[in-house]
Each structure stands twice: as C-alpha cells, then as structure tokens.
Structure 1
C-alpha cells in the first residue's frame, strides 16, 4: 500500500507498507524525525501527488515527498507498487524504488 501522511510540521510524506499490515503512525513519525503523523486529507493527497486515492503511486508524483518503505521490502528481489491508477501496478526492486524516490527503509507498520 502507498499511503500519504501529514506531519506535525504540515508536510506530507509517503509510506509504502505491505498490504497485509497497517501503518503505525508512531513508527512513521519516528522514521521521519517528527513527533506525530496522521493520514493526510484526500484533497491534499490529490493536489500533492496528482493521483486519486486508491491509485497513489510512490513514483512520478507532482511534488517529491519524503518517503519511507517498510523494512521487509529490503529482502525482496521484486515488489509491486501502484502505477498511478486503481488496479494498475508496476514491479521493480525495492532498491530501485528507494533510489527513484529518495526513500529510506524502516519498520513502519503493525500486524
């Protein structure tokens, strides 16, 4: 899942987590070095990324947002992320995704 959060300093950030887990806002805040994050408002997500909810891709966003990929992806050869449209995915290596987005890996989910 590609999720967009809003930080306590009014910035948006992207979290990429496995579909079978839930984002931990506390862990995401720690990974970003802020005190608190919450899920971003739908309109803010669409304006910043250029994508509709359900189709947000970590790639090709209007504005480059700070990004964090769940650490479990580091051990994968290939992962699938949204390609910017509901139901459309792209397969790439986690290392390539991190390079293209400037993301770091961290434990950001629960479950």
Structure 2
C-alpha cells in the first residue's frame, strides 16, 4: 500500500492509527457511505471531509459523519462569517492536493481552518479518508482534533 501525505503526516507526528483499504467501486458518488459499508462500521463513526468556502474567501475543512448533512449556517458561525458554501471540487482539490472522494483532513498542502462535528467525541475511534478513494485511517477523535487544530461544534444535521 502506498503512503499518502495523510499517512506520512500521522507517522511523522507519532500518532497511533490504523490504515484500512477497501474496494471503492459502486459508490455512486457517496464515498463516505461506501466506506462505512465496506468497513462494516456505523455511518456515525465514519467521517467525511468536506471543503467549504467562507464568504471572506477562505477555504475551510468541515468533518461530519457520513450519515449526516453539513449545516452551512453552523459552519459560518464557527468561523465568524455570515455565509459558507460548498467549495467547488476543483478548488478543493487544488487546495488540498487530494481528489474529491479521497480528500483527507490530514496531510493537506497547507493547514486550513478546520471544524469537526461534536458527535466525534462520542467514539473512541473515528474513520476518515487516508487521502485516496478506498483508503481510510482509524484514529482517536482527540488525535484527529489535535493534529488538524480543529474546532469542535455541532455542524451536522440529520
């Protein structure tokens, strides 16, 4: 298995983690749910990495369970702006160095402001993209929050 920037970053920082690969076919664009199914994990414990554009022009990272939807108004409040919208895929890929469906909150080209849904704290271990479709990394929510300098807030609905 090749190392991605996300896996390299975790190893460099000495963060305990597990890398899990799975067949990423048949996702119909919903990579997060495909990952949860392939890993036989609750969709509440597998987090998707979404890129948002704030109305001040900054890009930010929002991590929510794959079973939920991102509340853009809540994200805007977290970052003290009036509005947030989903970033265009090409802009997200350019900023992170990853392709959509494999964007990891870890090892991005540069550290972007990040927020994770508070439900992450309900688990001992979370799953997030390891930087490629079909590749996830399992780690503690505390380590994910620390290494991404993420704020913790309720940003998911449903």
TM-score normalised according to structure 2 size: 0.69
Cα shift at 1:107: 0.3
User: What's 1:15 paired with?
Assistant: 62
Task: Provide the TM-score with structure 1 as the length reference.
Answer: 0.98
Which blocks of at least 5 consecutive residues in structure 2 are unaligned? Answer: 1-47
Larger radius of gyration: 2
Partner of 1:6: 53
Q: CA offsets, 1:39-65, max 9 Å, x none?
A: 001111111100000000000000110
Query: Alpha carbon RMSD of aligned pairs, Å?
Result: 0.6
Distance in 2, matches of 1:33 and 1:86, equals 32
Aligned ranges 1:1-111 → 2 under 5 Å: 1-111=48-158
Give the strand-richer structure, 1 or 2: 1
Aligned residues: 111
CA distance in 2, matches of 1:108, 1:87: 25
Counterparts of 1:45 and 1:13, CA distance in 2? 9
